[in-house]
Structure 1
Amino acid sequence: MAVVNPVLEVDAIRLAFDGVVAVDGVSFTVEPGELFAIIGPNGAGKTSIFNVLSGVYRPQQGSVRFHDQDLIGMRPHRIAALGMARTFQNIELFSHLTVVDNLMLGRHNHMRYGALSAFAWIGRARREELANRSAVEDVIDFLELEQWRRFPVGLLPYGVQKRVELGRALAMEPRLLLLDEPVAGMNVEETEDMARFVLDIREELGVAMVMVEHDMGLVMDLADRVMVMDFGKPIRTGTPREVQEDPDVIRAYLGEQHRTAGGVA
Structure 2
Amino acid sequence: MSVLEVTDVRLAFDGVVAVDGVSFEVGEGELFAVIGPNGAGKTSIFNVLSGVYRPQQGTVRFRGHDLIGMRPHRIAAQGMARTFQNIELFSHLTVVDNLMLGRHNHMRYGALSAFLWLGKARAEELKNRAAVEEVIDFLELEQWRRYPVGLLPYGVQKRVELGRALAMEPKLLLLDEPVAGMNVEETEDMARFILDVREELNIPMIMVEHDMGLVMDLADRVMVMDFGRPIRTGTPAEVQQDPDVIRAYLGEQHKSVTP
State TM-score, norm by structure 2. Answer: 0.99
Q: Is the 8 A contact 2:179 2:190 kept in 1?
A: yes
Aligned equivalent of 2:130, options 129, 134, 142? 134
SS at structure 2 position matched to 1:198: helix
Letter of the 2:71 partner, please give it. R
1:163 aligns with 2:159: yes
**1:46-98 superposed Cα distances (whole Å, 9 cap, x missing partner):** 00000000000000000000001000000000000000000000000000000
Deviation of 1:263 (Å):
5.0
SS at structure 1 position matched to 2:108: coil
- Is there any run of 5+ residues in structure 2 with no aligned partner, and where? none
Q: Distance in 2 between matches of 1:198 and 1:17?
A: 33
1:79 aligns with 2:66: no
Aligned to 2:36: 40
Aligned to 1:125: 121
Aligned to 2:254: 259
RMSD after superposition: 0.9
Aligned to 1:11: 7
SS at structure 1 position matched to 2:55: coil
Runs of 4+ in 1 over 4 A off after TM superposition: none
Q: Distance in 2 between matches of 1:248 and 1:202?
A: 30
Aligned to 1:109: 105
Aligned to 2:149: 153
Q: Distance in 2 between matches of 1:228 and 1:259?
A: 15
**1:21-46 superposed Cα distances (whole Å, 9 cap, x missing partner):** 00000000000000000000000000
Aligned to 1:250: 246
Aligned to 1:27: 23
Q: Distance in 2 between matches of 1:221 and 1:166?
A: 19
**1:155-183 superposed Cα distances (whole Å, 9 cap, x missing partner):** 00000000000000000000000000000
Q: Distance in 1 between matches of 2:93 and 2:77?
A: 24
Letter of the 1:180 partner, please give it. D
Q: Distance in 2 between matches of 1:57 and 1:262?
A: 37
- Aligned pairs, number: 259
SS at structure 2 position matched to 1:163: helix
Aligned to 1:208: 204
Letter of the 2:114 partner, please give it. A
Aligned to 1:182: 178
Aligned equivalent of 1:239, options 218, 235, 240? 235
State TM-score, norm by structure 1. Answer: 0.97
Q: Is the 8 A contact 2:91 2:149 kept in 1?
A: yes
Deviation of 1:259 (Å):
3.1
Q: Distance in 1 between matches of 2:254 and 2:155?
A: 31
